[in-house]
Amino acid sequence: MINLPTSLILLRVVLIPLLVVVFYLPWSWNYLAAAGIFAFAGFTDWADGYLARRLGQETRFGAFLDPVADKLIVVVALVVLLQRQATLAFALPTMIIIGRELLISALREWMAELGQRASVAVSGIGKVKTTLQMVAITALLVFDRDGSFPALNLVALGLLYSAALLTLWSMAIYLRAAWPEMLRAQPVSQAENQQDIRR
């Protein structure tokens, strides 16, 4: 059953292609509209979690889809921004943020297979990092690097670097939590190895 919080998560997924289309439209206000879409998606991220807890409508499907939707829209927004701001200064935090998301997603999947998913649950630092990312990307979508607001764009880039640093910090926390399981990891049996190959 699709409840209200899950509907908001699905809406966030639908907004991803809309964000890309609007970003590339030949309109003078396309960046502002794209920023509005991204900011609204960030609001739904807060709203779906709040409503799920308030209404008692937390589901396994919602718990799975929510971080996926968050990562997708952040990664897509960073990629389109990188195309517009193709500089080392912007590529560096983008690489850190996207790389971390891939690593932690794989780590959570592995820990879930071991029944230890709670060990790598979202931390307070992760939530602050997500908020900084949302604010920074929204601002970067509005203020073009070569536009009329270079100072504001620089501030937004500084926020993105702050988010990247928190990304590394939270990644270290997740890895530290998972480290005991990594040390106890058993070698893959021949049967499991053959099964992975067939996949």
Q: What is the rounded distance in angstroms from the CA atom of residue 39 to the CA atom of residue 78?
A: 14
List phi, psi (to 5°) of 142.
-80, -45
Where do the domains of the chain lie? 4-185
The CATH code for residues 4-185 is: 1.20.120.1760
According to the per-residue pLDDT averaged within each range, which of 61-70, 107-116, 179-188 is highest?
Answer: 61-70
pLDDT digits (tens, 9 = 90+) for 31-69: 999 999 999 999 998 899 888 888 888 888 888 888 889
Phi-psi sector, 18: left (phi>0), alpha (psi -120 to 50), beta: alpha
Q: What is the rounded distance in angstroms from the CA atom of residue 12 to the CA atom of residue 69?
A: 7
H/E element, 138: helix 124-142
pTM of the model: 0.82
150 pLDDT higher than 80? no
Q: Are 13 and 2 in contact (CB under 8 A)?
A: no
187 pLDDT higher than 90? no
